[in-house]
Chain A
Amino acid sequence: MSHDHESAGRGRLDRRRFLTTAALGGATIVGATALGGIDADAAFAAPMPSLDPAISKSAFAEGRITAINGSVLEVAGSYGDQHLIQLTNATSVWKLRPTTAEEIKVGDGLYARGVDMPDGTIAADAVWVNIVNLFCTVQGIAKDRLHLTHGNNHAVVGRIVAETTTASYLGGALTSDLSRVRIGQSAQVLGAWRPDDDTVDIARVTVGH
C-alpha cells in the first residue's frame, strides 16, 4: 500500500519535473491587462463574450450533488432540473483550493462549467464545490474565525484556514496577512460552505473596496 503511494508520489514528482522543464521552455509574454480570469470567483462573474467561439457553447450547471457514480455526478438543480456531470482527467476541481475529485461528497453544492455531450451529460471543464460569495459585515474576530453577518442580519461563521485563507485590502494583492481586518468593515467573502456545521471556510476576504 505504502509502496503504491510512494511510487504514485514519485510518478507525480517526475511528471511535475517534466512539466516544469516544458513550462520554463515556453515563450515569455510580458505585460498586464484588465481582463479577468476564469478562476474561483469567476464562477459568479457576469457572462462575457468570449474570444473563443468554442466557449460560447459552454454549458453551465448548479445544484446539490445527490449521487456519485464513478466519475459522474448526479446533480439536482435549484429549479427542479437534473444534470449529469461527467468529470475527466482534464476537469479542474475547486473546493476551497484546487483539489481532486475524491474530495467531492454527496450533499455538496456545485457549480460546473463544461460542454454539452450528445448523451445528455455535461463534460465538465471546471467544477467549484460548495463555493459561496457573500457580502458581509465583520462582527467579530477570533484566532480561527471571523464572525460575520450578511443580508438581513443573518449570522455566519467564517473559518480561517491556515495557509489557505487570504485577504485583499484596498484592491491590493492577495496576502496571507489577515491582521488588517477590522470589526465593522464591509467584506466580500469567497469561500467553501461546510454542509456539516453550516460555516464557511474562507478562501479570500476582500475589504476596503
Chain B
Amino acid sequence: MISVLTSLAPLLCGGLLAVTGAAKLFGRRTAQLAANTVLVRVLGNGHRATAALRTVGAAEVLIAAALLAAPEAAAPGVATALLGAGFTGYLAYARATAPESSCGCSARDEGPIGWRSFTRAGLVVLGGLAAVAADRTWWSRIDGDPLPSAVVVVVAAAVLLALSSDLDQRWLVPLRKLRLRLFGTPLGRPPRGGDARVPVAASVELLENSLAWQAASPVVRSALLDHWDDEGWRILRFTGVYEDKRGARPVNVLFALDLTATIDNAPAPAVRVSVVDDITEEPIDVGHLTPVLRPVLPLAG
C-alpha cells in the first residue's frame, strides 16, 4: 500500500497544486483575496500582494506539470516539499502577526488561518517527500494495480476536500444539519417549569422600552453601569447629570424592576425610578419627571 501511495503521490500533489495554482494564477478574485492576506503588509501594497499571489500560483502550476509529466524525477518532488515548507512558514508567520488575515491558499478560501490550512500545507510537504520516493510512474501503477490505486485516489480526494472550506456548503453543513436532527441541539434548554432566570439583558431591554426610561432619559448619560438583584427586584444603575436651579450635579439614576418581567410578559412594566446625588447621596425629588410623549407622525395616504 505504501508503494502505491508513493507512486501515486505525484498525481495527487500535481492535481492539488494544479487546481490551487490555476485558481491563484487565473482567478478573477485573486486581487480581492490578496487584499485580505498578510502579504499586503509585508509587500507594502495590494498590487504587489496580488502579483506575489499570482507568482506563487504560476510556480504551483509549473511544479504540478513537472510532477505529472516526470513523476520519477526527484526534482519536482523536492520542489513540492520546499513549496509546502514555504506555505507552512508563511502560515505560521501570518497566524502569529495577523491572525485575522485570510490565508489565500485556495481561490475561495476566505476563512481565518486554522488547523485545516496547516494540515494542507503539511500534506504538501509529505506528498513532495513521497513523490521523491516514487519507484514507478503513476500511470504504470494505475495500470498494474487499478483497484488499490482507485481507493487511494478516492480517499486522498476526500481528505483534501475535507481540508478545504470551499465546499463546506455542499457536505459539511448538510452533515451538521443531519446530526442536529438525529441527536438534537447541543445547546441546553432551560429547565421546564419556567425556572429560568431572566437575563439582565432582557431586563435592560424591558427598561429601554418603558415610559420610565423615556422620562428619565434627559438625566441618564451612561449605559448600564451596575446591576444586582434584591428581594424580587432587579436594580439597574446608570449615571447621569441632573440640572436644576442649583446647577448641574452628577447623579446615580436607579431603576427597580420586577426580577421576572420581560417584554413578553410585561407589556406595561411598572418601573421605580430614583435619582440620587452622587456626592451627597441625597435622593433628589424627581416627581416632576414626566414622560415626554413623542407626537405620532401622520401616516402618508
Contact = CB atoms under 8 A, between A and B. Distances in A.
Contacts of A166: 199, 201-202
Contacts of B173: 139-140, 183-184
A176 B235 contact: no
14 contacts: A19-B237, A19-B276, A20-B233, A26-B286, A27-B274, A29-B271, A33-B213, A38-B217, A52-B217, A139-B173, A141-B186, A175-B190, A178-B188, A179-B189
A150 to B, nearest CB: 11
B170 interface: no
A141 B186 CA distance: 7
A52 to B, nearest CB: 4
B220 interface: yes
Contact of B172 (A34, A140, A174, A176): A140
Contacts of B199: 163-164, 166, 174-176
Interface stretch (A1-9, A72-80, A151-159): A151-159
Given A26-B274, A143-B186, A98 B225 contact: yes
Interface string A168-180: 0000111111110
Given A26-B273, A33-B211, A90-B221, A179 B283 contact: no
Contacts of B291: 29, 31, 33
Contacts of A38: 208, 217, 220, 223
A30 B172 CA distance: 50
Interface stretch (B77-85, B128-136, B251-259): B251-259
B75 interface: no
A89 B211 CA distance: 27
Contacts of A155: 110-112, 165
A165 B61 CA distance: 47
A32 B202 contact: no
A26 B272 contact: yes
B204 A26 contact: no
A177 B112 CA distance: 29
B239 A31 contact: no
A61 interface: no
Nearest to B168: A139
B287 A30 contact: no
Given A91-B222, A126-B222, A28 B272 contact: yes
B185 A179 contact: yes
Contacts of B244: none
A163 B264 CA distance: 20
B228 to A, nearest CB: 5
- The list of the 9 closest CB pairs from A to B, nearest first, reads A26-B274, A37-B208, A173-B262, A31-B211, A23-B254, A90-B239, A155-B111, A29-B212, A92-B222
A136 interface: no
A197 B265 CA distance: 39
Contacts of A27: 272-274, 286-287, 289
A198 B278 contact: no
Given A90-B278, A154-B111, A155-B111, A178 B187 contact: yes
